[in-house]
A and B are shown apart, each in its own frame.
Chain A
Amino acid sequence: MTLFIMIMLVLTGVYIFGKYGVVQNSKAEALGLTSSLIALIWALFNTIWSYGAQSIILPLGGRSFKGDNGPHGEIEGSERNSLSVEYGSDKGGVDPGLYSGMDIFAVEGGSFLSPTLFDGLTIVFVVLTAIISPIAILASEKKTEMISSLLVVEALLIGAFVTYDFITFYALFESVLIPMFFLIGGKGSGVSIFRIGAAYRLFLYTLAGSVLMLLGLIILYLETGTLNWYLLVLNSLYGPSLGNTGGASGVLTGLWVFPLIFIAFAVKVPMIPVHLWLPEAHTIAPTPGSMILAALLLKLGGYGILRWLLPILPHACEFYMPIVLLFATISTLYACLTCLRQIDVKRIVAYSSIVHMNICIYSIFTLSPLAIKGAIFEMFSHGIISTGMFFLIGVLYNRHDTRVLKYFRGLALQMPIFTLIMFIFILSNSAVPLTCGFIGEFIMLSGSIGAFPFLTLILTLSTVVNAGYNIWLFNRMCFGGYSPYLGNTKDLSRKEFYVLAPLLVYIVILGVCPNFLFMFIDGGALGA
């Protein structure tokens, strides 16, 4: 089914491009929207099904992986499904609840892409992809080549999130770059040399990381003989090579492999020394490109760490934990401070993405279950928030052909609805309660502080600066006297409002009832 959806998306993309060429066409938009909405329905259906199926199956199976069930519970669980119980029970500290529910959706092998995985982790990211893509298509102003690129990106991302074959993941992770390259290089703003430059930056940075990951994969394969997620996890638990029972050489291989794979994800997140592609790519990219880039592509890094590093190389994760935490802290504070001094609005949002993603990485690497779950939530909510922020900036760019903050002032006088929506997004971005940004941040940091109190204390200073640049941005743009550089403008059009409305609804719903998402993230909420 996943394969079918992916092929459908790609075919629609190719068809749109082949049929209509490079024009603005509302039929193409309708077609693109339809197929991405079908993908959304499929994702939601799968979500509900997996939830329903779990709640039916679990009471019978009696899977219990909560510590409070005592030793007997664990033994029972391990007899039934050794995988989800055992790992994490040792000091690796990875929570098994995250990866629960996979036995339901582990489709039998066969073709290249069919082995798919639909656990709590996947659900979050697939649903995020499926809800952001139609919005991005709606935001692309009927431009056919943009729509077709977006559809292809969506297909590839869904594939990357559901596969449990590492080499397939690698291939999809890489191939997302191709449509993004065209999106940024072809449809970006500014002179073509800047566009091409930004596209190359994105391409080369990611590629450099990915090459290392490929190398890591090869070593992993040589060591274990498989790249299947299940087998790799089993191997890390029981196997002689990478796991806790392994000899010195196995653990050493893990220590080799970890940095190779991690750098690829760190480029994608991005963490500080390798982040320079992001502000450029974001500033140059067209609005839907920025939306997809911030909402989904950055998540590939976080997802990759959660899926392919934590369970597979738990010991290496623990070994490298301090240095990763240090880098994440530095990245967060660095991006916060840099954000304060930007005058391009898109760069501000781009750097704030770096801030949020790095707090996520920090929390993931504290290896505390609570923090990891918070980080997943935060990634989801950041996907929604940054989509909205980039779209709002796109609205301004369409009207005034500039993104320089100095030209904007007093927008509240001319665009009250825009201001109201911007305010809600700004609040959510600066983690104010009753918005989804707050829940993620609160859970993440409350989970992390137990692991490294003082480092977390320093990290949380970023929340103050975070509020600072957000509210300062809002205040400079929307309040004050009306800027003399801007002519009279219209407020949000109906269509622009329709793009923003679902995002607002997600922000408020997830802020008020976060359990809708935590239910899936937290396997324990369903089973044990």
Chain B
Amino acid sequence: MYLLILYLPFLSFLNGTLFGRWCGRKGTAIWSCILMGITQLISMFITYEVSFCNSPVYIYMHDWLKVDFLSVKALFTFDTLTALMLLVVTSISFLVHVYSVSYMSGDPHLQRFIGLLSLFTTFMILLTTGSNLLQIFVGWEGVGVVSYLLVNFWYTRAAANRAAMMALLTNRVGDWGYTLGAFCAVSLLGTLDLKVLFGLSPLLHEGVNTVITLLLVIGVMGKSAQLGLHAWLPHAMEGPTPVSALLHAATLVTAGVFLLLRISPVLEYAPLTLTVLTVLGGGTAFLGGSLGLVANDMKRVIAYSTCSQLGYMVYAIGVSAYGLSLYHLVNHAFFKALLFLSAGSVIHALGDEQDLRKMGGLRKVTVFTYVMMLIGSISLMGIPFTTGFYSKEVILAQGAFSATHSAGIGYILCLISAGFTTVYSVRLICNGFFAPSLNSKKRLSEAHEPDALMTIPLGILAVLSLSFGYLSSNLFWGHSSFLSGSLFTLPKTLKTEFWGGGTAALFLTLIATSLALFINLGSVKTVILFLFKNKALYNLLSNRYYFDHLFSNGVTLAVLSLGYITSKELDKGLGEYLGPTGISDGLHKTPEEFKPSLLKDGSPILYGQYLILSILFSIFILLTL
């Protein structure tokens, strides 16, 4: 029963990619949606049994790897953390499957697309159920690879190729950190098993915990697009929109946060890592928020907001509020998937137009999409009593009450970012729906509401974006023992109410909302004049703080030019000169009278004999000395 959750999506993948040709488009769609639906029901059952009935399940299959002292088990963990992640992954995945049947209906490769979405779900489930670092890494790399294929789904487009490769390689840098962390765990502790790691960490020297967790944090930076390794996320929007909704909003990018939550008992004994995480999270939140202000591609705006929300989650982990981080992860998955899917609906309506500046006037044409977008946005902004409000405010409150300096810095950055969130969300709504349309009249007249297969997932997500936060608030904070089995919980849980430290954020949000409304409802020129009088600032933001330049022109070019040195100047140059070509040329150039008689006829095999004889001779002389 429990392992079906792994097998069913995999079956759907096999069906879609291998037998899609025989099943047909409709067959594949129906079959995959049914399988994913069953998967979701199973995950609900698992959540009920594991989380609400408080009975974690561990399924031991066999020894996966047994060599020398290292033994890695194929052991699947189902605890509350896993169950909640599974709930998020399978429900968003199911909705996205249904949505993409309609969204991708014009594509000839629908079967491959559906199959890859299912494969992605499989790997995500593998990741969440892993009980040791290696098993998690299987899912971790797997989602990266499938993400490469999905972003590259329209593989003839050069932009998609570049984006996919950038995503894969940036993640590979993160994986380098992850694997180093795992190597350290093997060499220092002799195990990869997380339970053993948790048991050992209070007894170990702080440095050991710090080294292992800091290296894992590099992996998290890659996967969850944290400051420094974030540049791939906005580019990954080149993929189809359902991919952005499933991978780059709800699940894949939260894998890093999930890893941090999973190793929370170790993190708690590595204070330095926590400090790093607060600054990293705050920085990412600020960076994502500020870049969202100037992005013009609708999907990129949402991508930057994902980046900034991931920053909140990491910040929450940095201040040891693991439950709240998970809470925000779940909430964020719902409203961000809603935002992306409704963005997809807008793009669909406008005939693949993604540029915000060319949108506008859609409020009266596509009312349903407008409402959905609005719900997603207010939830993202954290307007009181929507889903986003409950988690974000509490994270900020927790940050405000934390004592350390780094938490304070992170708090301020997150607070400013909350303001940014509001500004770009309002800008998105205003530009997309209120502003006078800059699009051609033909396009606007052809704009239409999506069909039922697209509206139903949107509706479900909208309901969750409005109500889930309130309904589940008592599970995640306060005195609930809901998560204490799977996450590290501080013995003295701060009983936080939302009128605490979040108040400032709330005020800021409201002020920023009114400000942004004021600005955006004016003409576009005013906005630019008002916000970006300072051209240097605007350039800094629109060049994405020059991170892309650093990576593509700095790092990549440096590596390639090093490669030039080794391949052309050393390999084909010096190596050949001192090696084969040099020797043979030298022999040819030697005047005949200086050549030993052996070499006179110039045959290479004789050179060889000569070489060998001379080496033998010289070594024998050396030995006899």
Contact = CB atoms under 8 A, between A and B. Distances in A.
B141 interface: yes
B567 interface: yes
Given A337-B563, A464-B172, A449 B67 contact: no
Nearest to A443: B67
A165 interface: no
A427 interface: yes
B616 interface: yes
Contacts of B172: 463-464, 467-468
Contacts of B580: 201, 204, 276-277
A370 interface: yes
A414 interface: no
A481 interface: yes
A465 B559 contact: yes
Interface of B, secondary structure class, is helix
A370 B66 CA distance: 11
Interface residues of A, number: 70
A374 B180 contact: no
Contacts of B168: 467, 471
B612 A369 contact: no
Contacts of A410: 156
Nearest to B149: A423
B608 A475 contact: no
B63 interface: yes
Given A338-B566, A446-B182, A446-B187, A370 B63 contact: no
Interface in B403-442: none
Nearest to A462: B176
B179 A340 contact: no
Contacts of A369: 68
B142 interface: yes
A342 B567 contact: yes
B550 interface: no
Given A207-B612, A449-B187, A468 B169 contact: yes
Contacts of A184: none
Given A433-B141, A515-B66, A524-B68, A337 B566 contact: yes
B186 interface: yes
A370 B161 contact: no
A468 B173 CA distance: 10
Given A208-B611, A338-B571, A340-B560, A525 B187 contact: no
A463 B141 contact: no
B148 A338 contact: no
Given A446-B187, A471-B168, A276 B571 contact: yes
Nearest to A210: B612
B559 A460 contact: no
B68 A446 contact: no
Contact of B165 (A342, A449, A471): A471
Centre residue among B68, B155, B158 by max chain A CB count within 10 A: B68
B294 to A, nearest CB: 30
A95 B68 contact: yes
Given A208-B612, A340-B559, A461 B176 contact: yes
B70 A471 contact: no
Contact of B176 (A208, A211, A464): A464
Contacts of A119: none
Interface in B592-625: 604-605, 607-608, 611-612, 615-616, 619-620, 623
Contacts of A456: 183
Contacts of A465: 559
B571 A467 contact: no
A95 B68 CA distance: 9
A457 B180 CA distance: 8
Contacts of A508: none
A513 B64 CA distance: 6
Nearest to B560: A340
Nearest to A420: B17
A342 B571 CA distance: 11
B576 interface: yes
Contacts of A219: 623
A277 to B, nearest CB: 8
Interface in B13-42: none
Given A200-B604, A204-B611, A341-B564, A439 B187 contact: no
Contacts of B566: 334, 337-338, 341
Nearest to A451: B187
A212 B619 contact: yes
Given A427-B145, A434-B142, A515-B65, A446 B70 contact: yes
A211 B615 contact: yes
Centre residue among A439, A449, A525 by max chain B CB count within 10 A: A449
B127 to A, nearest CB: 11
Nearest to B180: A460
A404 interface: no
Contacts of B69: 370
Interface string A475-500: 10011110000000000000000000
A434 B615 contact: no
A88 to B, nearest CB: 12
A346 interface: no
B66 A522 contact: yes
Given A276-B571, A461-B176, A518 B66 contact: yes
A432 B184 contact: no
B138 interface: yes
Nearest to B211: A453
A513 B66 CA distance: 10
Interface in A189-208: 196, 200-201, 203-204, 207-208
Nearest to B571: A338
Contacts of B142: 432-434
Contacts of B567: 337-338, 340-342
B570 interface: yes
A410 B154 CA distance: 12
Given A276-B576, A370-B69, A341 B615 contact: no
Interface string B529-568: 0000000000000000000000000000001101111111
A207 B172 CA distance: 40
B396 interface: no
Contacts of A276: 571, 575-576, 579-580
A370 B187 CA distance: 10
A341 B565 CA distance: 10
A481 B142 CA distance: 26
B134 interface: yes
A412 B604 CA distance: 44
A334 B96 CA distance: 45
A373 interface: yes
B568 A215 contact: no
Interface of A: 95, 97, 196, 200-201, 203-204, 207-208, 211-212, 215, 219, 260, 273, 276-277, 279, 334, 337-342, 369-370, 373-374, 377, 410, 412-413, 427, 432-434, 438-439, 442-443, 445-447, 449-450, 456-457, 460-461, 463-465, 467-468, 471-472, 475, 478-481, 513-515, 518, 521-522, 524-525
Which 10 pairs across A and B sit closest by C-beta, in order of nearness? A450-B187, A446-B186, A340-B563, A337-B563, A479-B155, A341-B563, A433-B138, A338-B567, A341-B567, A446-B183
23 contacts: A200-B605, A204-B608, A204-B611, A211-B615, A273-B575, A276-B576, A337-B559, A339-B563, A370-B69, A370-B186, A427-B145, A433-B141, A443-B65, A445-B179, A449-B183, A450-B186, A457-B180, A463-B179, A464-B172, A467-B168, A475-B161, A479-B152, A479-B161
Given A215-B619, A446-B186, A468-B172, 18 more contacts: A200-B604, A208-B611, A273-B575, A279-B571, A340-B567, A342-B567, A412-B155, A446-B183, A449-B184, A450-B186, A464-B172, A472-B165, A475-B165, A479-B161, A480-B158, A514-B65, A514-B67, A518-B67
Interface of B: 63-70, 134, 137-138, 141-142, 145, 148, 152, 155-156, 158, 161, 164-165, 168-169, 172-173, 175-176, 179-180, 182-184, 186-188, 559-560, 562-568, 570-571, 575-576, 579-580, 604-605, 607-608, 611-612, 615-616, 619-620, 623
